[in-house]
Chain A
């Protein structure tokens, strides 16, 4: 059963809380991108705000915007996060060491658990139903979405708030640098996909979606299906998997109008997207889809797929492709089906499942 997307919100390195923010995308020469902060004081009560770390502010503000925009109030909260409140955890562990496990401040401890974001959202919005947090590396948000689709399918919820949240921290940047995730030299993020090199730039963000099992009349798009599995470097096999995923919904390659893919400037990884899309083109001829990318706008992080899904919804609802995201146009004037396709291939640590994951989502115009 598809879910109807009632509202979205996106806090990202682009000014995505504003209108038409992607018409003039922000760019800088960097190794990481930080979010454009909304006015947190307008969205979170001051008494709560003062104790919150960056990720909690992003999560609470993002969820608040999404709930405000939804015609149906969510009765369940599901969050996907790669490393959640690891900055607070780091603070707490450091104070344990510095203070010899004595006189420990409670605030970083309270905020350090993986489910802090989902819990705080529930308390702030009095959402007393199902509450869960998924942390499965790069498929954390996708796992949360699958959970939400199942919950709606079973009729246990009328509207689910689903979010994907991760924050930048120097510690994360340093650790992932050691496994080759980032470019060695700063690069202009808008040039990331056009400059040769290994690794990407780090990002952060909070994406939220209010999903309902029934149409409300003001739905933005449909989330038809989501899946995630281990990656493959074989383009033929990858295309077969895409075909099998689409066939589950009675869709053929020719029916896909846009691919929103997760290329991130890492040359070996991007080469696989290009190989898959070349095979796709060979199968579909003139019915080849438009291709859109997004990680040069938000950076790479474990729930960066949230930005891609937000962009997919925006594209379907507004029927407009922002120029900064276009990889290629194929002359289509209307977009009905969007395939979100993300493969995260760490060339160094392939043995780690969470760093070698493929995910797909099918979204449809309402």
Chain B
């Protein structure tokens, strides 16, 4: 799977997991911040995204600092999935 395909897959999974009913995959900029600006997600969404990575890709992020880096954008999430060889 290419990174672009993985990003599309992640966008769909994020929309489903966070019930972002009015948002389509094409509305999500893969480089835009997930929190604050961009999608405007909050701390509960952060837990849902960590669960998403664990359930769908078997990736556990134990270190809180790494969580913050990984959950910067959809692209940083995709890069972790690729790095862990789970794409």
Q: What residues of chain A have their CB less than 8 Å away from a CB belonging to chain B?
A: 46-47, 50-51, 103-107, 110
Contact = CB atoms under 8 A, between A and B. Distances in A.
Interface residues of B, number: 13
Contacts of B20: 50
Given A46-B22, A103-B55, A107-B44, 4 more contacts: A47-B40, A51-B44, A105-B51, A106-B44
A50 B55 contact: no
B18 interface: yes
Interface in B15-63: 18-22, 40, 42, 44, 47-48, 51, 54-55
A106 B18 CA distance: 11
A10 to B, nearest CB: 26
Contact of B48 (A46, A47, A106): A106
A50 B40 CA distance: 13
Contacts of B22: 46
5 contacts: A46-B22, A50-B19, A51-B19, A103-B55, A104-B51
B5 to A, nearest CB: 25
A103 B54 contact: yes
A104 B51 CA distance: 8
A47 B22 CA distance: 11
Contacts of A51: 19, 44
Contacts of B18: 50
A50 to B, nearest CB: 4
6 smallest CB-CB distances across A and B, nearest first, come from: A50-B19, A106-B47, A103-B51, A106-B44, A103-B54, A103-B55
Interface of B: 18-22, 40, 42, 44, 47-48, 51, 54-55
A46 B19 CA distance: 11
Contacts of A104: 51
Contacts of B21: 50
Contacts of A106: 44, 47-48
A180 B70 CA distance: 54
Contacts of B42: 47
B75 to A, nearest CB: 23
Contacts of B47: 105-106
Contact of A107 (B40, B48, B55): B48
A107 B18 CA distance: 9
A51 B17 CA distance: 10
A82 B18 CA distance: 28
Nearest to B44: A106
A46 B23 CA distance: 11
B54 A105 contact: no
Contacts of B48: 105-107
A272 B19 CA distance: 48
Nearest to A50: B19
A218 B19 CA distance: 41
B54 A110 contact: no
B1 to A, nearest CB: 23
Contacts of B19: 50-51
Nearest to A47: B40
A47 B35 CA distance: 13
A103 B21 CA distance: 23
B28 to A, nearest CB: 15
Given A50-B20, A50-B21, A110 B40 contact: no
B44 A110 contact: yes
A190 B50 CA distance: 50
Contacts of B55: 103
A47 B19 CA distance: 10
Contacts of B54: 103
Nearest to B22: A46
A338 to B, nearest CB: 42
Contacts of A107: 44, 48
B46 to A, nearest CB: 10
A105 B49 CA distance: 10
B14 to A, nearest CB: 12
Nearest to B21: A50
A137 B16 CA distance: 35
